[in-house]
Amino acid sequence: MGCLIMLLGASWLSACGARDRPRLEVIRGYAMGTTYEIRYAGKPGELPPRTTIEAGVAVVLESIDLAMSTYRADSEVSRFNRHASTAWLPVSADFATVVTEALRISEWSGGAFDVTVGPLVECWGFGPNGGTPRVPEPAEIAKAMARVGYRHLHVRPQPPALRKDIVSLELDLGAIAPGYAVDRLAALIEQHNISDYLVELGGEVYARGHRPDGGRWRVAIERATVSGGEIETVVELNGVGLSTSGNYRNYFERDGRRYSHLIDPLTGSPAAHQVAAVSVVAASTMRADALSTALLVLGESAPPLAELEGIDALFQIASPHGIEVHRTRANRRAVKKNPAG
Ligand code: AMP
Ligand code: MG
């Protein structure tokens, strides 16, 4: 997660007043420690009351927060983290769905993606209670590593439940839950028979259909520079999710090395490489979210893997000459370079 994108196309907001033309509605708010924005379009007589959508959005976001927020003591994830037992703990179907996908991406990435990595994130000072990033003593890293490992986490779909075989195992779904939330919000919009919409939460986006002016929904991916504000590329989205995972703000440098806020669970240390950002387009935003994090942890070995697996990914790699861009074949097919308008 991280606001590494810009939504484009605000200029036509005022241009759609006529009765028969599609109207644009925009709902903005704050959830899961970040901001969200939902845009949808339709003929005025065909759209449900805006308050109906707003109420639905609130219900969806509250249910996800109650399942997956580590900031709430009463959430399912907090209960699981406190659960000092190796017995199954019943959870909601939503929670089990997200953990199932997380474990799939863990296997796929050879353990680079791991939602049990929290103790290591804390240890390097990147966590919510972490203070400032620092290089911990090897003994501290070893202690944290003993409590990390997706293989100690088990999920079952029916009845949905989680189990751990190390009682101090903890979950942090920060690298996948925002993408899941976007998919749930998109499903909510679809339930109201709206087929032209864009949903964004914390930089994770899903869009389908058209803007009121007939164009596709477009999102700018930011160039991965510390100062920000420059556009690297513009992506048109239709029935797919986009996620960017970036290192270029949240990192620290020591002895000329760049330490990411993403920790490589296999070494117990921050992924230290020159890949500054990875953007992934996938059928679901949840998958794009998890994959972008996984590929960023993998670093230099990620572009060939993404190519081999047919993933639509754009890598921004820091070099002495600035940011170099590497696109997989699937990305070159899908992304329009400098689309007009
Ligand atoms: P994202 O912005 O989606 O790349 O995810 C950032 C979140 O991922 C932070 O909340 C970290 O706590 C968490 N995180 C750090 N390292 C990993 C990892 N190796 N696998 C999964 N999540 C991680
Ligand atoms: Mg992610």
Between these two residues, 312 and 8, which has the higher pLDDT value? 312
Give the model confidence (pLDDT) of 215-227 as tens digits. 999 999 999 988 8
Tell whether ligand 1 has an atom less than 6 A from the beta carbon of residue 245.
yes
Q: What span, in angstroms and rounded, lies between the C-alpha atoms of 101 and 81?
A: 19
More confident residue, 36 or 339: 36
State which ligand 1 atom lies nearest to the alpha carbon of 290.
3
Give yes or no for residue 124 CB within 6 A of ligand 1. no
Mutation to probe ligand 1, out of 263, 264, 279, 298 (largest number of atoms < 8 A from CB)? 263
Tell me the pTM: 0.93
CB 246 less than 6 A from any atom of ligand 1: no
What pLDDT does residue 228 have? 80
Give the tens place of pLDDT for each residue, 76-131: 999 999 999 999 999 999 999 999 999 999 999 999 999 999 999 999 988 776 57
Give the closest residue (by CA) to ligand 1 atom 2.
Answer: 1
| Nearest ligand 1 atom, CA 179 | 3
Window from 149-153, 248-252, 261-265, 327-331 with minimum mean pLDDT: 248-252
| Residue 133 pLDDT > 60 | yes
The per-residue pLDDT for range 163-221, each reduced to its tens digit, is 999 999 999 999 999 999 999 999 999 999 999 999 999 999 999 999 999 999 999 99
Instruction: For 231-279, write each residue's pLDDT tens digit.
Output: 999 999 999 999 999 987 777 777 777 777 899 999 999 988 889 999 9
Per-residue pLDDT, 111: 97
- Residue of 274, 275, 277, 279 whose CA lies nearest to 314: 279
What digits encode the pLDDT tens for the residues 302-312? Answer: 999 999 999 99
Nearest to 265 by CA among 77, 118, 81, 99: 118
pLDDT higher than 60, residue 14: no
Query: Residues near 167 by Cβ (< 8 Å), separated by ≥ 6?
Result: 83, 84, 85, 86
Q: What is the rounded distance in angstroms from the CA atom of residue 29 to the CA atom of residue 27?
A: 7
The string over 113-146, giving b where at least 16 C-beta atoms fall within 10 Å of a residue's C-beta and e elsewhere, is: bbbbbbbbbbbbbbbeeeeebeebeeebbeebbe
